[in-house]
Chains A and B, each alone.
Chain A
Amino acid sequence: MTDAPPPAPLGRHDRPSGEAGAAAPGGDGGAPQQPASPVTAATVTTHPLSFTGQAGEYFRIWIVNTALTVVTLGLYLPWARVRQRRYFYGHTWLDGQNFDYTARPAALLRAYLLVGAFFLAYSLALNLQFSGWEYVAGVIAAAYLLLYPWLVMKSLRFLAASTTHRGLAFRHHGRPGGSYLAYGVGNVAAALSAGLALPWGWFMQRRYQVEHAAYGTARATFRGDVGDFYLIGLTGLAVGVGGGLLLGAPLVAALAVALGGADLPLPDLGSSGLTLALVAGAYLLVLGLYAVAWQYVRAATLRLVLNHVEVGGVVRTGATFRPWTLVWIGVSNAVVQALTLGLATPWAAVRRARYVTQGIQVRALVPLGSFCADVAPGENALGEAATELLDINLGF
């Protein structure tokens, strides 16, 4: 990868602290202000990220907060989420400073209650089928689908505004139009084209996420190409299909033999343990291949995006973690979590965070202390709550 000089102005920023903060208003690549002196030799400093969280320590936080959530019938959930997230942000270090998650739990609680109320109404309508239930469930489902891109936008804005590093908040300048293009048109096109447009959708979505992100006044840009996403999608597909053919063929053969012996069209599951085992094996195989392919797409996308982000023309992020190692971590984490009935969840989260974080670097042409604040608007937590509770997949 070449490190061609970025288009935006470079340079050291030796102006005194604080008062010189009248930043360039908005604009593209709103880099830290150009100093009066001419551009000096640009030196690239590489800052590795590090993660200092401990599985045991996080287990205690996780279980205590889970217990409090259960005892309070879920009302404590926002506090638990903020605390767990602050642990991960607070243990992620860059150039001697950690990140912080600054969302207010009380704001999240209001949004959780709102989203939860709609979900409860939807579930009751589907389960009870009282008179007029079709309208209640239909209206809620339609509203959710129509609002989905808008909720993604709200969530990105809230998440960015709630993330702080070195006393400056991140921001997301996403507008509804871009979100409806990336998440609305992108997903509909992917569905209509039987998945052919799916990588294009991923590209649009990641670009939307990165291009509107900002640290203080410094806007991020995304230099990735849609072709890279097709490569990732095809690799994922090849893994799923190839693995299915390779591992599935012997299983199908064995199943055919087992079924051929029985007289009934449907096997008697109670008496034929072998058939049951084969069906379970096929089910687990499909589940496993899907998990592997999906984990690969996620890991490779994360690496691709991190390798193509530029902030304010003076900072680039880079990732050296290996997608296949991340796939192994993801799959083995899931197995261990299932075997421990979820008790290994904190260990799994710390394990993944440590590997990902230690494979990320930030290369900067200026000291990281030379960014300026932007006017930070308040962002409400509704989108965040929807993302959290309804699992809108943001990909990061």
Chain B
Amino acid sequence: MTGPVSPSPIRLTGTAFDGRSSRRHDATLEVSGSCVTLRLDGEGGAETETHWTLEQVGIEPPIPGVPRVLRFPGGARFETRDDAAVTALEARDGRNRALGGVRRLEARWWTALGALGVTLALVAAFVVFGIPALARGAAAATPRAVLATFDRETREFLEQGGYLAPTRLSQARQAELRAAFRQVTREAGGQGYTYRLLLRDGEPQGAPLQLGANAFALPGGTVVMTDQLVALARSDRELVGVLAHEVGHVTGRHGLAGVYQGLGLTLLTVAVTGDLISAGTFAAAVPATLLRNGYSRAAETAADEVAGAYLMRAYGTTRPLRAVLARLETGDRDARENSVEESSAAEKLLQTHPGTADRIEHLREIEARGR
């Protein structure tokens, strides 16, 4: 069996260190076939020659503007400015293919700008499509037991923390509202959620934060509605509209998706900046907050879609929800939906909910569609 024609030897000049001292030596390196010879110039013309096979020699990946480095067993090191020859040696021996490719990308401005474009596009796509999709997927895959835990823990937190107190509504009124809620969940509630309506006083004495007229859904199907909201409504149709909206949050698994989205944004910041602390700094927190608010505005719109569809089926109009939204916005029991002002563009960015004016407009569209 005949060997391949051995390629012409490669000869390099540079400096070397023997790995035992910091003394610099002028040196030459010769690669002939797989045989590597390193010659170090010593004191007074003395020369030491060492032989290795090519497999024993490590070739450090290239760094722009820095001498090339070859490493030998025992810590010896050879440095040369002859990049072309080392590159030829790498090519012949199939070394550093991947990082050699990285170097070619780094060498030109158009590839670097291409990398910039790819980074921005991927990050943007991931933020706009990837994170919501992953979060939805993760939320949908989260087992019911976890949802139930979520509900229990949140409820205990709110009640023990003094945010909520027992309702002051009469038994009869409570029964009416529960019946209305059962009606909503039967028709719009999807399968497998354990729905329950908690009627609570949202303004107890000494609460750390007054919830006021409010309603919110926990992921497992617990919907909390405050006495203050019940008082603010002029008809039960309006409350049905609110309950349908909260049921939309439950079936859309928006609460859980929001948690996953926050986590995804943190991890993304870490991946891009390369460390955790940047993820917590002010500069990173602002875009992250805006993105998070953007996601929850989308969730509000989706829940309004569910509520609008239910109201159209039940009453043929979305007016009750529009009316109660207007009253919630102004805090005025006599407010009308047309009195709600448009928010400015900057305000919209900072809001977690779409502007009430936008939501009312959306509900009008649903009504127009349904006719």
Quote the shortest CB–CB distance from A338 to chain B (angstroms).
5
- Cross-chain contact of A87 among B20, B66, B150, B262 (Cβ < 8 A): B66
Name the contact of B25 in the complex, choosing from A17, A53, A97 (C-beta under 8 A). Answer: A17
B261-276 vs A, CB cutoff 8 Å, 1 = contact: the mask equals 0110011001111111
Chain A residue contacts of B347, Cβ below 8 A? 270
State whether A74 and B271 are in contact (beta carbons under 8 Å apart), knowing that A57-B64, A65-B102, A167-B77 are contacts in the complex: yes
Segment of B113-121, B193-201, B311-319 in the binding face: B113-121
A168–B102 touching, CB < 8 Å: no
Q: Any chain B CB within 8 A of the CB of A246?
A: no
Among A63, A127, A389, contact of B116 (Cβ-Cβ < 8 Å): A63
Q: How far is the CA of A287 from the CA of B52 in the complex (A)?
A: 58
Q: Is the CB of A83 within 8 A of B24?
A: no
Q: Per-position contact with B for A298-325: 1 when CB-CB < 8 Å, else 0?
A: 0000000000000000000000000000
Contact A376 B65 (CB under 8 A): no
A332 to B20, CA, bound (A): 44
Question: Which residues from B are CB-within-8-Å of A369?
Answer: 21-24
- Bits for A152-194, please: 1 = Cβ < 8 Å to B, else 0: 0000000000001111110000000000000000000000000
A72-97, CB under 8 A of B: which get 1 and which 0?
A: 01100101110100110011000011
| Number of B positions contacting A (CB below 8 A) | 63
User: Given the complex, which residues of B lie within 8 Å of A52, measured CB to CB?
Assistant: 65
- State whether A16 touches B75 (Cβ < 8 A): no
In the complex, the answer to whether B107 meets A77 with C-beta atoms within 8 Å is no
Expressed in whole angstroms, the minimum distance between the Cβ of B100 and any Cβ of chain A is 12
B22 touches A168 (CB 8 A): yes
Of all chain B residues, the one with the shortest Cβ separation from A61 is B106
Return the CB mask of A13-42 against B: 1 if under 8 Å, else 0.
Answer: 000111001000000000000000000000
Cα–Cα distance between A338 and B287 once the two chains are bound (Å): 11
Say whether, besides A70-B271, A130-B149, A64 and B21 are in contact (CB < 8 Å): no
Interface residue total, chain A, C-beta cutoff 8 A: 69
Residue pair B274, A372 in contact (C-beta under 8 Å):
no
**A69–B102 contact, CB under 8 A?**
no
State in angstroms the CA–CA spacing of A79 and B109 once bound together. Answer: 21
Chain A hits for B118, CB < 8 A: 67, 70-71
CB distance from A292 to the nearest CB of B (A): 15
A218: nearest residue on chain B (CB-CB)?
B22
Per-residue contact bits, chain A 336-370, to B (CB 8 Å; 1 contact, 0 not): 01100011000000000000000000000000111
Q: Which of B16, B116, B262 has its CB near the most chain A CB atoms (within 10 A)?
A: B116
A338 vs B273: C-alpha distance when bound (angstroms): 13
Q: Taking the complex as formed, is B358 at the interface, i.e. its CB lies under 8 A from any CB of chain A? A: no
Contact residues, B1-29 vs A (CB, 8 A): 15-25
Closest to A388 in B: B275
In the assembled complex, the Cα of A54 lies from the Cα of B106 at a distance in Å of 13
The CA-CA distance from A159 to B69 in the complex, in Å, is 20
A-contacting residues, B49-68, CB 8 Å: 60-61, 63-67
**Chain B interface mostly helix, strand, loop or mixed?**
helix
Q: Which residues of B contact A129 (CB under 8 A)?
A: 149-150, 153
Hey, which chain A residues are within 8 Å of B65, CB to CB?
52-54, 57, 90-91
Q: How far is the CB of A161 from chain B (nearest CB, A)?
A: 12
Nearest CB of B to A103, in Å: 12
A371 x B22 contact (CB < 8 A): yes
Instruction: Produce 1/0 per residue, A88-122, CB < 8 A to B.
Output: 00110000111010000000000000000001100
A59 pairs with B22, CB closer than 8 A = no
Contacts of A388 in B (CB 8 A): 274-275
Contact A131 B149 (CB under 8 A): yes
CB <8 Å contact, A124 and B119: no
Q: Which of A77, A80, A128 contacts B259 (CB 8 A)?
A: A128
> At the interface, yes or no: A216 with Cβ under 8 Å from chain B?
yes
A residues within 8 A CB of B75?
167, 169, 373, 376
Interface string of A229-242 (1 = CB under 8 A from B): 00000000000000
A46 at the interface (CB under 8 A from B): no
B293 to chain A, nearest CB (A): 15
Q: Is B283 positioned at the interface, with any CB of A under 8 Å from its CB?
A: yes
B346 shortest CB reach to chain A, Å: 9
The answer to whether B277 has its CB under 8 Å from any CB of chain A is yes
* A52 and chain B: residue at smallest CB distance: B65
Q: Are B282 and A71 interface neighbours, CB within 8 A?
A: no
A105 to chain B, nearest CB (A): 9
Whether B146 pairs with A98 at a CB distance below 8 angstroms is no
Q: Is the CB of B276 within 8 A of A391?
A: yes
Which of B24, B67, B260, B343 makes the CB contact (< 8 A) with A270?
A: B343
Q: A272 near B: Cβ within 8 Å?
A: no
Given the interface pairs A52-B65, A67-B115, the reply to whether A17 lies near B18 with Cβ below 8 Å is yes
B109 touches A60 (CB 8 A): yes
| Residue among B16, B61, B262 facing the most chain A CB atoms (10 A cut-off) | B61
CB-defined contacts of B64 to chain A, threshold 8 Å: 57, 61, 87
In whole angstroms, how far apart are the Cα atoms of A130 and B123 in the complex?
A: 29
CB-CB under 8 A from B263, the residues of chain A are: 123-124, 127
- Chain B residues with Cβ below 8 Å from A376 are 75
Q: Which residues of chain B are near A100, meaning CB under 8 Å?
A: 60, 69
Q: Is B105 an interface residue (CB 8 A)?
A: yes
Would you mind naming 28 contact pairs between A and B with Cβ atoms under 8 Å apart? A17-B21, A17-B42, A18-B21, A21-B20, A21-B21, A65-B106, A67-B115, A69-B271, A70-B118, A70-B123, A70-B271, A71-B118, A90-B63, A91-B65, A100-B69, A127-B260, A131-B149, A166-B17, A166-B23, A166-B24, A167-B75, A368-B22, A369-B23, A369-B24, A373-B20, A389-B275, A389-B276, A391-B276
Interface residues of A (CB under 8 A from B): 16-18, 21, 52-54, 57, 59-61, 63-71, 73-74, 77, 79-81, 83, 86-87, 90-91, 96-98, 100, 119-120, 123-124, 127-131, 164-169, 215-216, 270, 287, 337-338, 342-343, 368-373, 376, 388-391
Kindly list 11 other residue pairs between chains A and B, CB separation below 8 angstroms, not including A123-B266, A167-B76. Answer: A16-B43, A17-B43, A18-B18, A18-B20, A18-B48, A73-B271, A81-B274, A83-B99, A130-B146, A368-B22, A369-B23
| Residues of B near any A CB (own CB < 8 A) | 15-25, 42-43, 48, 60-61, 63-67, 69, 75-77, 99, 102, 105-109, 111-113, 115-116, 118-119, 122-123, 146, 149-150, 153, 259-260, 262-263, 266-267, 270-277, 282-283, 343, 347
